[in-house]
Structure 1
Amino acid sequence: MFRTLALYLLLPAGSALAASPVFDVHVHLRDGATSLQAYEAEVAKAGIELSGIGAMWFGGPHQARAGDLEAIRAGNDSVIALAAAHPEVLPIATVHPYDGQAALDELARVAAAGVKVLKLHAHTQQFDVDDPRVEATARRAGELGMSVLMDNAAILPGDNQKLFNLAVRVPGTKFIFAHMGGLEFRFWNILVLARTADGFAMDNVYFDISGPVLLAAGSPLEDEFTWTLRNVGIDHILLGSDYPQISLEKMAGALEQLDLTDEEKARIRSGNARRLFGL
């Protein structure tokens, strides 16, 4: 069970960032405890209270390539060990879908160790979301009680559409689409129409808004972005930083600029993540 970190500086009364704690669902800790210490110091300096950290070793210079089974296992073990030593950390593991049964075996192993989230990244891992092996991996993750965090920055053609179809084909798995389509976030308003069809509740889709929230806040897109968040469902929106690429201070500050109620912001900052991960 997570302990809320008392790692924040007091801000002036009424400060938006001090309003409620933040569960940062998207943190890359490439150097383990050293990265965690640097991240927490940065967050504390910004005056942000943390309620949890979704941490992964995978990303940037550390990629999970097909066939590199030993490196993937070692990386997963490193974040599992980090979480064991730091209860604020929610470990996020990875596999490569093209490793077939070996990937499914690794999923079972990390799930048994308490991992609740699997991260997959089609662009950097160089796989096609439409490949049947991706569906098999996502399906098995759901069977093991794991959510699947997938990159959704719309870097590759058809990114949004392929992820939509994957979520439809695997309704028993909860998906978190990171970056919410980037500047193609408009696509996800299709959920309003999809939900009018029988069997298309799409309640298994969540969004990490790291990235586009920073671009939308204070821009001509801000009203449309806020409208999209409400269309897909505030209860399905999560806040991530994508640290070290972007700071949590910037992401949380951008969220505060949006014309949302305090209750909606509190759910996005922490409440939705804690409910999704059963904390």
Structure 2
Amino acid sequence: MIKHAILGLMLFCLPPLALAQDEVFDVHVHLWHGEKSLKEYYAQLEAEHQPVARHSGIYMAIKGETQENRRKNDELIALSKRYPKLMPIASVHPLDGQVAIDELKRLAGLGVKALKLHPHTQRFDITDPQVRALCKLAGELGVAVLFDNFNIVPGDNQNLFNLAVGLPKTQFVFAHMGGLDFRFWNSLFLARTAKDFFFDNIHFDISATVALVADSPVEPEFVWTIRSVGIDNVMLGSDYPQLSLKQAGDALEKLDLSVEEKRKIRWGNANKLFGDKR
């Protein structure tokens, strides 16, 4: 009994950071095959002894396949009710016009907090007026927009920056933080100095990129960029199934960041943006 009391006292006295080490929010999980993919994701976590407190489930809509897109969005939402850790990130195709607008409104009404758009995979131009209209509506509905940002499409960083600046009420998450062109995003430091120009509505997940740059010659520059865009705006993601959450977490641990900075990236920032579901 005395030993249990001492142990309890020790746990009570531990700082919050020590108790939060296992809290991880994986914001970039592709569930290509619905529940089958989800079970495989959980199996990988178990095999690698990798904890996760919350995670996303991402779908990417296909142009013109409006009924199938709706079905897949509903599948994600249904899974999130059966698997409490799952936060659905639904999708529409911005070039589907009014159908996409109506679907976004429906999704927001069902409590979806984020929408995934991928200029390269979905084959659309970020500067298309239909993209802007969709993202504007997302902001009005309180839905964040997760954009691929590995800079595969020429002008990706610049176009996304212009889109976010023009829609200050929409929260954007740019996945991969520009890939190996992450240096561009240091421009946010200067954007913040311009009066009434930038309203801190840009966030990043560092999925894939963090695994690529850890232990590389550009690692110090990557850390510099993370701090430049703002620690509070950076989140961890795996980009499963291409990479595992353990790979992302191990890479993050290698970066020359403080324990508190890593805690924010691993858990706090995403939980703050998307809300604590527990």
State percent identity of aligned pairs: 56
Select 2:57's aligned residue among 48, 55, 58. 55
- Work out which of the two has the higher radius of gyration on C-alpha atoms and give 1 or 2: 2
Equivalent residue, structure 1, for 2:115: 118
Deviation sequence 1:179-233 (CA, Å, 0-9, x none): 1100000000000111110113341000010111111110110100000000000
User: How far, CA to CA, are the matches of 1:245 and 1:230 in structure 2?
Assistant: 26
**37-46 vs 235-244, which moves further:** 37-46
Counterpart of 1:27 in structure 2 is 29
Which secondary structure state, in structure 2, belongs to the residue aligned with residue 29 of structure 1? coil
Partner of 1:243: 240
The residue type equivalent to 2:65 in the other structure is D
Q: Which has the higher helix share?
A: 2
* Distance (Å, rounded) in 1 between the aligned partners of 2:40 and 2:65: 29
Alpha-carbon separation, structure 2, partners of 1:238 and 1:98: 29
- Aligned twin of 2:143: 146
TM-score by length of 2: 0.90
Partners of 1:34 and 1:141 lie apart in 2 by 29
* Contact 2:204 2:234 survives alignment (8 Å): yes
- Structure 2 residue aligned with 1:218: 215
**Secondary structure in 1 matching 2:138:** helix
Q: Check the 8 A contact 2:28/2:238 in 1, yes or no.
A: yes
TM score, norm. by length of structure 1: 0.90
Deviations 1:99-122 (A, max 9, x none): 111111000111111110000000
- Which residue matches 2:87? 90
- Distance in structure 2 (CA, Å) of the matches to 1:112 and 1:215: 38
Q: Deviations over 1:215-266 (max 9, x none)?
A: 1110110100000000000000011111001111111100000000000000
**Whole-angstrom CA distance in 1 between matches of 2:138 and 2:84:** 23
Q: Distance in 1 between matches of 2:242 and 2:213?
A: 18
5+ residue gaps, structure 1, are 1-15, 59-63
Contact 2:165 2:198 in 1 (8 A): no
Structure 2: 5+ residue runs without aligned partners? 1-17
Deviations 1:110-144 (A, max 9, x none): 11111100000000111000011000000111111
